[in-house]
Every structure is written in C-alpha cells, then in structure tokens.
Amino acid sequence: MATTVENPRPKAAKPKPHLEPDLCKGCLRCIESCNHHCLMPGHEIDPRTGLIPIEVNLENCTACGLCFDACPEPYGLRPEIPEGQPEFVRPEDADHLKRPPRPKPQDVPDALRELPSGATLVLKGNHAAALGALLAGCRHFYGYPITPSTEGAELLARLLPKLGGVFLQAVSEVATVNHMYGTAGAGKRTMTFTSSPGFSLMLEGVSYMIGAELPGVFVNVMRGGPGLGNIAPEQADIKLACRGLGHGNTHAIAFAPSTPQEMLDLTRLAFDLSFAYRNPVVILADGYLGQMTGRVELPKALTQPGLPKWAVSGDASHRDNLISSIFLAEADLEAHNRHLDDKYARMAREARSERWQCDDAEVVIVACNTPARMARGAVAELRQRGVKAGLFRPITLWPFPIDALAEALSGASRLVIAEASSGQLEDEVRLAASHAGLALPPIAAVRHSGGVLPQQDEIVAGALAALAREASATAAPRPAAPCDCSDPDCGCGDEE
Amino acid sequence: MATQAAFYERFERHAGGVGLKGTSTHYCPGCGHGLAHKYIAETLGELGIADRTVTVSPVGCSVFLYYYLDTGNTQAAHGRAPAVAIGHKLANPESIVISYQGDGDLASIGLAEIMGAAQTGIPISVIFVNNAIYGMTGGQLAPTSLVGQKTATSPYGRGHLEGLPLKMAELIAQMDAPVYVERVALFDAKNRVKAKKAIKKGIKAQVDRKGFTFVEVLAECPTHLGVTPPEAEKWVKEMMLPVYPLGVKKDLLAERDWGTLPAPTFEPAEVAAVVGAGAEAPQRFAQGFPQTAWGDDIALKLAGSGGDGAQTAALLLARAAIHEGFDATHIPSYGPESRGGTSYADVHVAAHEVGSPAAPKPHVLIAFNGPSLTKFGPAVAPGGVLLHDTSVAGEVPAVADGVRVVGVPFTKIAAELGYPITKSIVALGALAGATNLLPKESFLTAIRVQLGGKKASLLAVNEAAFAAGFEAAQPAN
Ligand code: SF4
Ligand code: SF4
Ligand code: SF4
C-alpha cells in the first residue's frame, strides 16, 4: 500500500526550494510569498502536464521557507537537498527514504465466554433485543427516540454505561446511521432501535454502509404508515427491508422474529452475520412484539468481539485501511457490484423458517412476526376442527426461505398469507417463488393495516373460505375460458 | 529536526498512482484545498500522531482527501462527516479524528450534523474549507456565497430568496460545548502561517482531550470564480474578509478538559449482573398446568383506565406463570389511547407455547371500571369468569353462557388498607380466589421478585392487598 516520504523542513539548516517542473501547476501562489523575487512566472508549457511551471532563480534566496507554505501541491515546491547529500530523488523512486514497513493488520477473532445459567427472564420484546445486543458484544448504541421502539434504547441507556459502553442519543436518524457508519468502520459492533419513519430516514446511510461493506444491526419495530401514520403495529416496511435499502444495488439479511425469545436470539445472531458478511442486518419486528412480554432464556455464552483486519481503528497496523463506497471508474463499480451480488448469493444459505404441522397440510398459512402467532393459534383451531392446516413462518424475509416453503406446500392446495400490510409479504412470497420457478397454489389474503393485526378467527375464516372455494371449484370445474385474443404471448392457448 | 508530513509517498488511490497522478493532486491549480491538506499533513507529522489518526473525507471537491493523507481514512456521505467522525471517536477514544468538509457539505446539507456534533462537544477536529461556492458540482450557490455573487444557480447574483451568507465559525462559537473556534485565510504568507497554526492548535487540542474544535479556512476556488489564483486570493481578501472576519472566535483550551471514556467490559460476571443472567430461579408451586375448562392456552384480559394498574397486574400474572415453567405473554394497549383513556392488557398462559397473544374473547376478564365492563364483558368466552370492581359504577352486561360473574370491591378494599394504589393487587388476589389458575404462592412470589430488594417495605402492604382480594372472591361470597 501507500507509504510516507520524508518531507524534511529542517529548522537549523534551512533549505532552499527545489521544484520539479512537472509537479508545478503554475498557479503562481508562491510568487507573491517570496520577497526576494526568486520565483517568477514561467513562459514555457511543460509538455508532460500541459501547464506552465514557474521559473526559479535562487541567487537571492534567504531560505526563509515561506514559499513552501504557499504551494498547494504536496510535492510541488520542496526543500532542496543540501550539498553533500544525494541528489533529489522523485518521491516515487525514493526507496532509500521509505519508512520501515508497517505492521500488517490481522483479524482478531471473536471469543465466546461462558455465562452463568439461571432463572428464565420475563422480558418485553424490545428489552430482549437490547439484551441480545449486549450479549453479542455490542457496546455502541446510537439512536433517536421513536415509539414503539424506544424501550430498547432506554434500557441500553441504563445498561451500557455499566459495561463501559457508549449510548448516544443522536440528533436524528440521519446522524444515527452515520455514527454507526463511523463506529462500524472502526470495526466495532453497533446498533440502533428505530421504527418505520425513522428507518426511512436511515436508508441513505444504510446504502452507504452496504456500499462500504460495513456491519451494523438495525432493529425496526414497525408501526403504521405511510407518513406519520400511527404508532400501532404494522408490517409495511417489508418492502423497505427486502427491496428498498436506499439507492443502488443493496440487500441485507432481514429477520422477522415473533417472540421476545427470538428478539434476543436473532439480534445476537444478526451481529455475527453482519460481521461475517460485512453487511448490515435488519431485524423487522412489529409494534406488538416490541411491547410484548414473554419468557426469555439467556444463551450460555456471550461474545467478546475481536477486531477485523479491515477496520479503520486509529492505530499503526490499520493505518492503510480505507472505508469508502466510491468507485469512480465504471468497471471498478461494476466489479464491486458483482462482488456484492456474490455476497448476496452466499447469504441465501442464511434463509431460516419454521414449519408447524405442514407435513400433511392441505392449507398452509404464511405469516411472520406477531401475526405468525395468530396464525399458529389459527392452525391449532383448524386442526381441532379437523382441517389439515399448517403454519409456515419465514424467519428471514430476505433471503426468503423459498425451498422450505416449497416443501411445506408439497401437499397443499391452498395458501393463506396473513399480514399487517397491504400485501408486502405476499409480494415477497410471489417474487421468491417466481425466481425459484415454484408454482404456488391459489393464494387467499388475510390483511389488515393501520395498526390492526390479522386475528386468529379471521385467519381461520380465511383458510376455511379458501378451502371452500377449492371444493366448489373441484365440484364444478371452470370451463376452459375461450379467449379470442390474437396476442401470441397470451397464455390462453396453454391452458390445460 | 526533520518531521514527516503525513502524505502518502505515492497517491496510489489517485488513478492507481500511475504517472503524474501518483505525485500530484486532482485539484485545480491554486485551489485552497491543497494548502489545507498540507497544513494537516504537516501537523500530523509534527505531532507524531499520523498512526492513530482517522480522517473523514466529505463529499465535494475534497471527496478524495483519502488519496493523499496517510492516515486511517473513511469517506462519508454528503454532509455527514461529523456524525461519522463521532462514530470513529467513540469507537476508539484514543484515535485522533479529523472531519474535513467544504461549505456545501458542512453549511448546507450537513447543517444538522455539524450543529449536533458541535453541541456534543465530543473531541473531534473539524476543518471547514469555505470558498463561497460549490466546486465539484460545477460552481453553484453555497450558503456562504456572498450577496450578489453570481453562480451557476444564482445567475443574477445571490438575491432575495437565497438569504444571506452563513457565518459558521460565529455560529459554532455561540454554542457552549466547542472549545476552540477560529477563522483563518490563505491569501498571503502571513495568513498562511496563521492558518497552519490554527489547524495545528485544533488538532493538538484533541490530542490533549480538550473537546470539539472548529477551524474555518477561507479558501480560493479560482476555477469557479473564473479568475487566476492570485486574483482569487485578492477576491478572498477584498470580498470575503468583510463578511467573514478572521480571528479566534472562542478559545477555552486552558479551562476545558473533556477527559476520556472508560473501556468497554466483556467480563461474564459483570455482564451477567447487568443482564440478569444467573439469577436464582424462583420456587415453583403449581402441580402441572391449571386444570380448567379452558384448554392449554388460557386468555385473559385486564381492562381499566390509565391509573388502575391493569398493566401491573397483567405483568405479575405473566411473570407468575413463567416462574411456574409455563409460557405466557402480556401485550399492553399502548399509545395515546392508553393515556387517560382505557388501558387494557391481554395475557395468555399456555402449557406449551402461546399462539395468538391477543385476547379478543378472553376466558377471564378483570374489569376495573364501568366502560371496560360494558365494552369487554360480552366478549368473555362461554364458561369464562368475569371479575369486576363493584366499588365503581357500572352495569354488568349480558354475558355468554356459563360465564361466572364475580364482583369484588377492588377500590374499596385497597382504600381501606390505606394504599389505594394496591387496587391491582387486590384484583390479582381476587383472580387467584375466583379461579384455580395459579396457586396463591405463585402470585406472591411474582410480587416479591417484581418489587425486588428496593421496595421491600411495600411487600407487606401488597401481601395484605392480595390476601384481602383473595378472601373477597372466594366462591362462598
Ligand atoms: S525560501 Fe524564501 S527567499 Fe527562498 S525562494 Fe522561498 S520564499 Fe523566496
Ligand atoms: S505554488 Fe506550487 S504549484 Fe503553484 S506555481 Fe508555485 S510551485 Fe507551482
Ligand atoms: S473547483 Fe474550486 S474547489 Fe474544486 S478543486 Fe477546483 S479550485 Fe478547488
């Protein structure tokens, strides 16, 4: 990597200036600084630069040094090499001036340290995620208060100082994500709690973090939108997390926990994955889950984070590092995007899901977050009524666990998607199925928004209605629709 | 003695360091940025701190500061450099963090970030290069452009809608937290010496852990002023100086000391104490999951007005069930509707795993006031229990088949005990008395754990309230 050259400004033996004409831009700023008229505007264009360098006549030079300070170029006007010393050598050729090689940065691995086991905790979702972050070794929290995520931040404000950690309430979500960018750039584990409008504001920074390949954990406790909406639960940021992480070619693993236990476990896991892939990880919770209290078992170990070798951590061995998302040349940026694409492709292995009662299910209900619990209740109720229902719960929304869904659907003739949004989860299911070439059974939607979650009885009714539709469809098969269109791309001719 | 200026020997990031780009900057001839860079590089060499320095490059002409400065480097989004710098500083308090910004970056799009950073006082060194125009995007109006100044986006001169020049150094100096603010210029030898000194002072202050420092450098952008560099120097001197007076705006270096930060700990014992790991498990009293007609996932709703303690009682109930090894959830109604108005809590207690945590048709309702009784009473599932406070007004509505209605004067009992706030505990006692959900001792243990050591004096009061509620709800009544 780059090295430093000796740029001596000896005070005792004052040097006179030396100029390599091709490093002079002819700006003339140095001329006025010399009271002895040693420096004069030049007259000849330097063919190497197309610029006119100054002319130097040091006859009257007193070695006052003022001209050095006037030259904007690092290697423009330079101190002359005193007599008896080797001749001036261009910096790039100056092997003999090179400083000793720097220590190379090494990856310091994370360490797991055993935690005493004890009583089951009783925690609300936001608090569980906060403890998950502490156990994952996060000691840097930045955030801006926003309901219904704030309890997470408030708990960390209390606990982080006890662990020598940093809690900083930022002036905005924009500042928050940029504090995270800095701390992540230094190779440290950092996180925030936010809710939908706040997450929108952070997306610029998330794009920069992805571009610069920085880890960080965003817990978005989703609330109702668009705009100010309300503070009740919604799941309408699925599109942001899966398709809309700021500008450019961006993706991040997006978890959808459904219990306080998962808030803790997935937040912990999020830190590991965000460092493993050098990419942010998003936890999408809903307002209910953030506020919901439940039982939580702590893990058996905590993480003492190491330090990645790419960090800009303010020491000699990491001095050559750069955190940046700029790739000026088109080919370089395309190569970077290909690299990111490869990484996103590797993330496919992180797809996680839960299947419950799907083995013989005729109707599979897809739901995540708190609605997945309503769906679980619905499956139990349907089974009691003798209906073969199953629950498929994506735990990662991106990457979507499409292979597992395909298995869950192997015997199903109906799919019910229950969500607190106007179809964002369904869009993810459809898109993932389309990419995977998976034909989905007919989909029935059970949707709410505005702060209302799909309730168990609605999901039960939705599943029963979907099955009833199938029954009547089987009884009286729809006649092959005669289509008189002449569009060759119309599927009318393909219908079985 | 010779020192090293912290410039890379070869600018390898500048188009691969090939040819002249390896040793010269991307700046236009005579650009003030080069001088500001030089003074920073020399300062880092003279103070011997380049190894531990992190420089944050902005967006603008100086976006490629990291081509040149031989330090740890980070490139930030437009305007966000000070926020990024704080992230670096707090990650490594011993590092020296320099945030370098131009006028569009700092004084326009990044105003919130620079004001926020300055207000924290966190020791970072901000170098603000003010040349009164946007360089990189091609000479548009800057917040620091002069009145009447013609730019690409003020072709008739900065006028009516564009406001007046923004004096950042004065603005920052007005804030209490920054420790050193100075404005300098580059247009002649005398001022360049001062500029170099100020930059060094600002950075040295961080080495000495003094606090936030801000040096505004009036600089030349000959290209977009459309003049030669010497003419640009003259323009800064004659046109900018009257608007942007030079000098020290604030210097509290002698009296301020920001100090440093403690090191983070990962010691299991310390972390365990903070997160509550390793706490002794409370004793269990239940002989298996409660035998009721309500199956293995029991739904309860506790409803009242804001101060009734419905949430407290609900949390204690969930805690007691979890202590017994069951799954349990509690969801509060929250937000504006819970302030002053109705506040209700849904609780589930399940043998294995709670399904839906909502309780639209609860097996048990505890109603603390009339409106809750009216609203939720009819929803109680057939065969359920409706517990309500008979000391407040309210009619028992028509209920489903087999719903047992139990009236207990929660408020009156609590008041007679002299502790009206224990109303929710009375209700909890009544719940224990009216159902066989959990043993009495489970509730009392949950109350004890919840109160912790801190409020032990309240324990006896709470126990008395619980016992009174329990008695009042005995089937015999
Ligand atoms: S060192 Fe002083 S006298 Fe000599 S050329 Fe430079 S400014 Fe002139
Ligand atoms: S200041 Fe430097 S670049 Fe400008 S004319 Fe003088 S030597 Fe050349
Ligand atoms: S446009 Fe102006 S500020 Fe930008 S490099 Fe050129 S002279 Fe400097």
Determine the pLDDT at residue B255.
96
Q: For residue A53, how far is its CA from the centre of ligand 2 (angstroms)?
A: 7
Token look-up 């990650």 returns B91
* Residues of chain A neighbouring B335 (CB-CB closer than 8 A): 147-148, 230-232
Going by the DSSP 8-state scheme, the letter that residue A362 receives in this structure is S
Q: For residue B22, how far is its CA from the centre of ligand 1 (angstroms)?
A: 26
* Residues of chain B neighbouring A23 (CB-CB closer than 8 A): 20, 23-24
Q: Does B164 touch chain A (CB under 8 A)?
A: no
Contact state of B87 with A179 under an 8 Å Cβ cutoff: yes
Determine the pLDDT at residue A13.
58
| Closest Cβ–Cβ partner in B77, B275, B327 for A204 | B77
Report the distance separating Cα B465 and Cα B472, nearest Å: 11
Mind giving me the DSSP string for A57-100? -GGG-----TTGGG--STTSEEEPPPTTSPPP--GGG-GGGPPP
**Residue A383: its H or E element:** helix A369-384
Which parts of chain A register pLDDT below 70? Answer: 1-13, 81-99, 470-496
Classify domain A114-350 by CATH number: 3.40.50.970
Report the distance separating Cα B239 and Cα B144, nearest Å: 12
Determine the pLDDT at residue B338.
45
Check whether domain B15-251 has CATH 3.40.50.970, yes or no? yes
What confidence category does residue B343 fall into, taking pLDDT thresholds of 50, 70 and 90? confident
Determine the pLDDT at residue A341.
98
Residues of each domain in chain A carrying CATH 3.40.50.920: 353-472
Alpha helices in A387-423 (DSSP H): 402-408
Report the distance separating Cα B24 and Cα A169, nearest Å: 42
Q: Specify whether the CB–CB gap between A72 and B32 falls below 8 A.
A: yes
* Residues of chain B neighbouring A182 (CB-CB closer than 8 A): 56, 74, 83-91
* Residues of chain A neighbouring B17 (CB-CB closer than 8 A): 2, 92
Per domain, the residue ranges of chain B are 15-251, 279-472
A18 residue type, one letter: H
Classify domain B279-472 by CATH number: 3.40.920.10
Residue A355 in 3-state DSSP?
Answer: strand
HSE-CB at B420 with a 13 A cutoff on CA atoms is 4
What confidence category does residue B334 fall into, taking pLDDT thresholds of 50, 70 and 90? low
Q: Specify whether the CB–CB gap between B113 and B83 falls below 8 A.
A: yes
Going by the DSSP 8-state scheme, the letter that residue A9 receives in this structure is -
Residue A121 in 3-state DSSP?
Answer: strand
Q: Does A9 touch chain B (CB under 8 A)?
A: yes
The whole-angstrom distance between A93's CA and the closest CA on chain B is 9
Report the distance separating Cα A159 and Cα A182, nearest Å: 22
Q: For residue A302, how far is its CA from the centre of ligand 1 (angstroms)?
A: 63
Q: Residue A442's CB: how many other CB atoms inside 10 A? A: 12
Q: Specify whether the CB–CB gap between A226 and A240 falls below 8 A.
A: no
Token look-up 């009740």 returns A232
Look up the ipTM and state it: 0.95
Residue A331 in 3-state DSSP?
Answer: helix
Determine the pLDDT at residue A471.
66
The whole-angstrom distance between A15's CA and the closest CA on chain B is 11
pLDDT tens column, B175-211? 999 999 999 999 999 999 999 999 999 999 999 999 9
| Closest Cβ–Cβ partner in A22, A91, A179 for B9 | A91
**Topology agreement, domain B15-251 and domain B279-472:** no
Contact state of A122 with B88 under an 8 Å Cβ cutoff: no
Q: Does B70 touch chain A (CB under 8 A)?
A: yes
Closest CA to A277 of A252, A310, A302: A252
Contact state of B90 with A140 under an 8 Å Cβ cutoff: yes
Determine the pLDDT at residue B476.
57
Q: Please indicate whether residue B221, judged by its CB atom, sits closer than 6 Å to ligand 3.
A: yes
Q: Please indicate whether residue B223, judged by its CB atom, sits closer than 6 Å to ligand 3.
A: yes
The number of the ligand nearest the C-alpha atom of A34 reads 1
Q: How far apart are the first and last CA of chain B?
A: 97
**Residue A122: its H or E element:** strand A121-124
What would the two tokens of residue B279 be?
């706490």
Q: Does A212 touch chain B (CB under 8 A)?
A: yes
Closest CA to B60 of B82, B73, B76: B76
Report the distance separating Cα A371 and Cα A354, nearest Å: 14
Query: Which one of A98, A150, A293 makes the best mutation probe of the B interface by having the most chain B beta carbons within 10 Å?
Result: A293
The number of the ligand nearest the C-alpha atom of B129 reads 3
Is the pLDDT reported for residue B337 higher than 50? no
Q: Please indicate whether residue A348, judged by its CB atom, sits closer than 6 Å to ligand 1.
A: no
Give A244: exposed, middle or buried? Use CB within 10 Å, 0-12, 13-18, 19+: middle
Determine the pLDDT at residue A8.
47
Interface subset of B 265-284, CB within 8 angstroms of A: 265-268, 270-272, 274-282
How far CA B433 is from CA of A176, A362, A402, B421, B471, in Å, comes to: 51, 44, 50, 20, 7
Give the Cα-Cα-Cα angle A7, A9, A14 (nearest 5 degrees).
Answer: 140
Determine the pLDDT at residue A493.
40
Q: Does B330 touch chain A (CB under 8 A)?
A: yes
* Residues of chain A neighbouring B30 (CB-CB closer than 8 A): 25, 27-29, 72
Is the pLDDT reported for residue B296 higher than 60? yes
Is the pLDDT reported for residue B1 higher than 60? no
Q: Residue A470's CB: how many other CB atoms inside 10 A? A: 17
CATH topology for the A353-472 domain:
Rossmann fold (3.40.50)
Closest CA to A222 of A214, A212, A232, A209: A232
Strand pairing report for B180-185 and B247-251:
antiparallel
Contact state of A190 with B87 under an 8 Å Cβ cutoff: yes
Q: Specify whether the CB–CB gap between A421 and A369 falls below 8 A.
A: no
User: What contacts B228, CB < 8 A, 6 or more positions away?
Assistant: A28, B30, B222
B373 residue type, one letter: L
* Residues of chain A neighbouring B50 (CB-CB closer than 8 A): 4, 319
Determine the pLDDT at residue B339.
47
Determine the pLDDT at residue A91.
59
Determine the pLDDT at residue A5.
47
Q: For residue A65, how far is its CA from the centre of ligand 1 (angstroms)?
A: 6
Is the pLDDT reported for residue B455 higher than 80? no
Contact state of B7 with A457 under an 8 Å Cβ cutoff: no
Interface subset of B 394-433, CB within 8 angstroms of A: none
| Closest Cβ–Cβ partner in B37, B57, B192 for A70 | B192
Q: Residue A368's CB: how many other CB atoms inside 10 A? A: 29
Classify domain A17-82 by CATH number: 3.30.70.3270
User: Which of A18, A25, A66 to mutate for ligand 2's pocket (most ligand atoms within 8 Å of CB)?
Assistant: A25
Q: Specify whether the CB–CB gap between B100 and A338 falls below 8 A.
A: no
Instruction: Name the more confident of B431 and A81.
Output: B431
HSE-CB at B250 with a 13 A cutoff on CA atoms is 24
Interface subset of B 332-371, CB within 8 angstroms of A: 332, 334-336, 353-358, 360
Contact state of A172 with B116 under an 8 Å Cβ cutoff: yes
HEC readout, chain B: CCCCCCEECCCCCCHHHCHHHHCCCCCCCCCHHHHHHHHHHHHHHHHCCHHHEEEEECCCHHHHHHHHECCEEEECCCCCHHHHHHHHHHHCCCCEEEEEEEHHHHHHHCHHHHHHHHHHCCCCEEEEEECCCCCCCCCCCCCCCCCCCCECCECCCCCHHHCCCCCHHHHHHHCCCCCEEEEEECCCHHHHHHHHHHHHHHHHHHHCCCCCEEEEEECCCHHHHCCCHHHHHHHHHHHHHHHCCCEEEEECCCCCCCCCCCCCCCCHHHHHHHHCCCCCCCCCCCCCCCCCCCCCEEEEEEEEEHHHCHHHHHHHHHHHHHHCCCEEEEEECCCHHHCCCEEEEEEEEECCCCCCCCCCCCCEEEECCHHHHHHHHHHCCCCCEEEEECCCCCCCCCCCCCCEEEEECHHHHHHHCCCHHHHHHHHHHHHHHHCCCCCHHHHHHHHHHHHCCCCHHHHHHHHHHHHHHHHHCCCCC
Contact state of B2 with A6 under an 8 Å Cβ cutoff: yes
Sheet holding A389-394, edge to edge: A353-356, A389-394, A363-366, A414-419, A443-447
Determine the pLDDT at residue B181.
98
Q: Specify whether the CB–CB gap between B232 and B222 falls below 8 A.
A: yes
| Closest Cβ–Cβ partner in A140, A205, A212 for B91 | A140
Closest CA to B418 of B464, B374, B368: B464
Q: Please indicate whether residue A34, judged by its CB atom, sits closer than 6 Å to ligand 2.
A: no
Q: Taking the mean position of all CA atoms in its chain, how far away is CA B412? A: 44
How far CA B70 is from CA of A96, A265, A293, A311, A321, in Å, comes to: 19, 41, 51, 15, 10
Q: Specify whether the CB–CB gap between B427 and B387 falls below 8 A.
A: yes
Minimum CA distance residue for ligand 1 atom 2: A64
Contact state of B112 with A175 under an 8 Å Cβ cutoff: yes
How far CA A232 is from CA of A152, A196, A466, B108, B109, in Å, comes to: 17, 11, 29, 35, 32
Contact state of A32 with B188 under an 8 Å Cβ cutoff: yes
Closest CA to B412 of B474, B468, B463, B366: B468
| Closest Cβ–Cβ partner in A8, A98, A134 for B9 | A98
Q: Specify whether the CB–CB gap between A286 and A370 falls below 8 A.
A: yes
pLDDT tens column, B249-295? 999 999 999 999 999 999 999 999 999 998 899 999 999 999 999 99
The pLDDT of B315-325, averaged and rounded, is 96
Q: Please indicate whether residue A358, judged by its CB atom, sits closer than 6 Å to ligand 1.
A: no
Give B59: exposed, middle or buried? Use CB within 10 Å, 0-12, 13-18, 19+: buried
